[in-house]
A and B are shown apart, each in its own frame.
Chain A
């Protein structure tokens, strides 16, 4: 392994590759900040550029873009409540309220430190445990994945809905329903398209996110513009605040980082789980760890609530490289794009990768750590400038949010049907948000819908239509037991009131 690390360091520390990581982090941050343009879009845009490079250089550039875009996504979540990627949805829960309280600088600093710490810790885990960790993900079967997704959705509904569990669960079902629109992945039969060709490929994830977050947020701000109770909120939006953290904030952040790093990395290793589930579970887990007084601050600008998902989503990014590099199975949508790029280079990732192409395997791992350092050096000094987005007057900011949202959608399909669909969904989402129907459960359900159906299909086919698969394997039963505990706890809380 020492030999591999040295090979990796030699490749990653070449001037060309360091420049690539820097460029990747910088462009990734800028692209990730724009609502609608997340890591997947950023990496996809880089693929044609990387074909002129050696495979290791190309992958290093894409890894830099990935981390940069995830951090950039957190920035837009915190500043304008418009997560560009699902992995940063949980960041908005406490990051955005902090920004509204005039602590945008602090929120961005916490996000930068937590991302750095989460990424660094998990890069070390990856370095030490990459080969053996792949065995853990091999132990997971379809029923376990299905159970894990049910647990993730239940946990999100329980923790993000502020006592409105049933409303959140209805949003989960709505998200899953939206995910079924389009062609069935196995039989290619079209479902719920109403003979509209534009719906054959389903509804794009970016469209749903833009409609339910960015556009709906813009409409809500305008709608509540005359509400006197929102006056302080708007005044504080123009305050940038300091980026330095006091002792109490540092202590809270340092408590959240280790546990969220471990959780994020382990979730990231599981193919399909990725940064989204990791950030939501870390948020939920952190809420359970803190005392009752701190628990009340969740959703209102808690340091714990911001540091935990930020640490976990970056840790999961490193974790998601484990199945990609060792099994050839992408752990997330973004690593799926990277898998496509690797295949374009003529490289087949899998257990033999670090024997046949050790320089690629180890240099990517080493460049992750270098990328983390560069990201921190690059982003912390830029925070006061990034936070100036908040100082933009509402009359300019709202149309600009709409511009990036609508343009992001239009650039994906060059079709105005998507614009109309987005407006329709945004209007409904704005109305639902007025009545406290939470949107994050809908987003997560939409992302996981396809995978959930796929794993349920495999489980039911293996068990010949019987639901015994839910308790046949101890791992599935344990995961489902956790789900039942969460539902029972919510029911108990509801009746206790």
Chain B
């Protein structure tokens, strides 16, 4: 018997609900609240049981229209590149500052998506981020941490 991916996702949701229920029982409520009609555990407990019930229902009931995904036509490589670039951006932003990290993030995102119009790639990264920073930092007075620009004396 072959089980559809939709049902596998429902099974995963069942496991998530069981884990959520376990975590709910780990919540330390105040002793005077333990037997109260409602405490910090009550709502999550309902949610966990309801989640388990719905996922079991989906697995047990016959499936009319299972989702069909053709994995051969999906471009996993480019999507993975974008996810990796965003993760790297998350690591770099605090060290390199907003301007450099965001500009490079945009530039390399264009590159990995196959763009090779270098002038447009440059305009829509460095100058764009500079304008965005000016709007936020200069006009709206929103603080932007940027050790690099601070060291160069461009921002205060």
Contact = CB atoms under 8 A, between A and B. Distances in A.
The 3 closest A-B pairs by CB, nearest first: A465-B37, A399-B109, A419-B90
A407 to B, nearest CB: 7
A398 B82 contact: yes
Contacts of A394: 113
Interface of B: 5-6, 9-10, 13, 16-17, 20, 23-24, 27-30, 33, 36-40, 42-44, 47, 50-51, 54-55, 57-58, 61, 64-65, 67, 69-70, 73-76, 78-79, 82-83, 86-87, 89-91, 93-94, 98, 102, 105-106, 109-110, 113-115, 120, 124, 132, 136, 140-145
B138 to A, nearest CB: 14
A6 interface: no
Interface string A394-406: 1110111011001
Interface in A158-173: 163, 166-167, 169-170, 173
B38 A180 contact: no
Q: Which of B6, B33, B91 has the most CB of A within 10 A?
A: B6
A406 B74 CA distance: 24
A423 B9 contact: no
29 contacts: A163-B65, A166-B57, A169-B54, A174-B16, A176-B47, A187-B40, A189-B30, A191-B23, A219-B82, A222-B79, A222-B82, A223-B75, A223-B76, A229-B73, A396-B120, A398-B82, A407-B102, A414-B145, A416-B90, A419-B86, A419-B89, A423-B83, A423-B90, A427-B83, A434-B67, A434-B69, A435-B5, A456-B38, A461-B37
Given A399-B110, A399-B113, A420 B73 contact: no
Interface string A315-358: 00000000000000000000000000000000000000000000
A411 interface: yes
Q: Most chain-B CB neighbours within 10 Å: which of A226, A403, A434, A497?
A: A403
Contacts of A436: 6, 67
Nearest to B51: A173
A402 B86 CA distance: 8
Nearest to B73: A227
Interface in A427-473: 427, 430, 432, 434-437, 452-453, 456-457, 460-461, 463-465
Contacts, number: 168
Nearest to B76: A223
Contacts of A176: 47
Contact of A184 (B17, B40, B87): B40
Contacts of B24: 191
A103 B138 CA distance: 38
A402 B136 CA distance: 18
Given A396-B110, A398-B82, 11 more contacts: A167-B58, A173-B51, A187-B40, A189-B30, A192-B23, A224-B73, A396-B120, A399-B106, A399-B110, A416-B91, A457-B43
Interface residues of A, number: 64
A52 interface: no
A68 B107 CA distance: 32
Contacts of B55: 170
Contacts of B9: 432, 435, 437
Nearest to A184: B40
Nearest to A48: B141
Given A166-B58, A460-B42, A396 B75 contact: no
Contact of A187 (B30, B61, B86): B30
B67 to A, nearest CB: 4
Contacts of A173: 17, 47, 50-51, 54
A177 interface: yes
A169 B93 CA distance: 38
Contacts of B20: 177, 192
B89 A411 contact: no
Given A173-B47, A187-B29, A222 B67 contact: no
Contacts of A457: 38, 42-43
Contacts of A191: 23-24, 27, 40, 44
B71 to A, nearest CB: 9
